[in-house]
Structure 1
């Protein structure tokens, strides 16, 4: 068996020009055009398109509404409806802008993303430690990862897409600041190896990976199955664990990226404690910009024994 790192292949191949990929090429060209637009022109277009998305995204909206009702039972139907409207608007706005991460300069990335709290990262670096950044699935996560990669050696991990052209484009974007992108099947060992090579990375603890090895811990007004692996990974790789939040400010047309203080190692000793610490970190990040979280994901799919599915 090959022991080569399981990176995504970012080389351009002639097969990507096959006619079956032409619709994807058209979509990429459209995204590039939007990426080249100034935000003052692009954002109003996104708001208009968001109204169309709201009409056709019935199934994702049902999942998002179920998540919100479980997490925030105190919210009225009107409050949830407004949050969903804002969520769709931010999704379209950020999606249409994302190609700028590949086609525009690093200087543009610095201008678009204002970074706060980097002193926590610097303190870890001064101590000779890499960082495991904790961030749930938020719309601006690509901006967060690439902005930090400007000042910090980083790698990432992603699930392969069935569309090879989309895979190529997306991973060219994600690696535009020099970080390698691992395939998900590379596993935890690959990430541990990167920590030992002084590379930092993002860990997304909000994904529901099923009941196997997961621990239920409080999550807003409900409970969530969380996989407690970060504490052991950080200890083995001599890394610090820091939550990160990012939000798009529509008025200023900029992102605000904030690195939060590191989670104390003792808070993640034991699976139950770690699951609780991770869920608390995720709550903090989501609560900062609740309208910019990917609520359409089935993050509450796994339920405690005897409890019915919320979906």
Structure 2
């Protein structure tokens, strides 16, 4: 991306951040519906993922689900303007919080907040940093300018942004110092430090980093999910109870538990999970690719 393209993107995001949330959300939804009518690589990926994970659904049902997903994905990109440039007060007014733990407990044990790639994960992570000091793991983008922008805006309320490839030693040190760490491990980042475990019955290459970091940092693992509320009412951040007996002595068992928990949440609002990601990019030895 050249300098002019980057400047235009920033200008667009700043302009959208000045509009009411409802207007931005409706514009994004309309854009997603229009994009779904066009043939695209991402549309193909979404439909492959949905067919694998929901084999009992008809093609008509899958098409409706995929279209609604495109609406949410396009919304999430435009709503990022408000999330990146809106004030802490405006963000707080858009998010309902339901937490099973005390988010202000100064005596809390080392904690990993485990998120998942629903379309509203961004606002959930940013909101955390308005409530308590936290570190957040991120994956570096190929575009340096956009990556630096995302890192800066995601961390503007004090979150310490840590690249995923950072030494585990640093992350463990943060956990043991009492600073919570936010991360998500539900994408296919390659076979290194991963295991193949079922995801909706399909072998999925799943990271084992949550188990290893929790074990080394003697940390509890607390799942959280951010959902988009209906009727353009904003978002809801749900923070769950810490996972029992986690980590175990088996990374594979822990990865399967993580996927099983995620499945229960996806079934509540399947159109909001990030199906545009190639979740089954890597396959077990001997199995053909699906995309």
Contact 1:101 1:176 in 2 (8 A): no
Q: How far is the alpha carbon of 1:213 from its aligned partner? A: 3.8
What 5-or-longer segments of structure 2 have no aligned partner?
none
Aligned equivalent of 1:120, options 98, 101, 110: 101
Q: Distance in 1 between matches of 2:166 and 2:256?
A: 27
1:10 corresponding residue in structure 2: none
Q: 2:173 aligns with which of 186, 189, 193?
A: 193
Aligned equivalent of 2:144: 164
CA contact (8 A) 2:119 2:273 kept: yes
What residue is the counterpart of 1:206 in the other structure? 186
- Pick closer, same or farther for the CA change 1:121–1:219 going to 2, 3 Å: farther
TM-score by length of 1: 0.86
Q: TM-score, normalising length from structure 2?
A: 0.92
Q: Is the 1:132–1:241 contact (alpha carbons within 8 Å) kept by the matching residues of 2?
A: yes
- Corresponding residue to 1:296 among 266, 276, 289: 276
Contact 2:196 2:284 in 1 (8 A): yes
Q: Which deviations, in whole Å up to 9, do the C-alpha atoms of 1:40-60 show, x marking residues without a partner?
A: 322332232223322446101
**1:217 and 2:172 are equivalent in the alignment:** no
Tell me how far 1:173 sits from its aligned partner. 1.2
Helix, strand or coil at the partner of 1:99 = helix
Confirm or deny that 1:59 pairs with 2:41: yes
For residues 136 and 217 of structure 1, what CA distance do their matches in structure 2 show?
17
Q: 1:1-29, CA deviations, whole angstroms, 9 ceiling, x for partnerless residues?
A: xxxxxxxxxxxxxxxxxx93111111211
Q: Which moved more, 1:233-242 or 1:72-81?
A: 233-242
Q: What is the root-mean-square deviation of aligned Cα atoms in Å?
A: 2.1
Contact 2:220 2:246 in 1 (8 A): no
Aligned residue runs from structure 1 range 16-95, under 5 A: 20-56=2-38, 58-95=40-77
State whether residues 132 and 201 of structure 1, in contact with CA within 8 Å, keep that contact through their aligned partners in structure 2: yes
Q: Distance in 1 between matches of 2:108 and 2:225?
A: 24
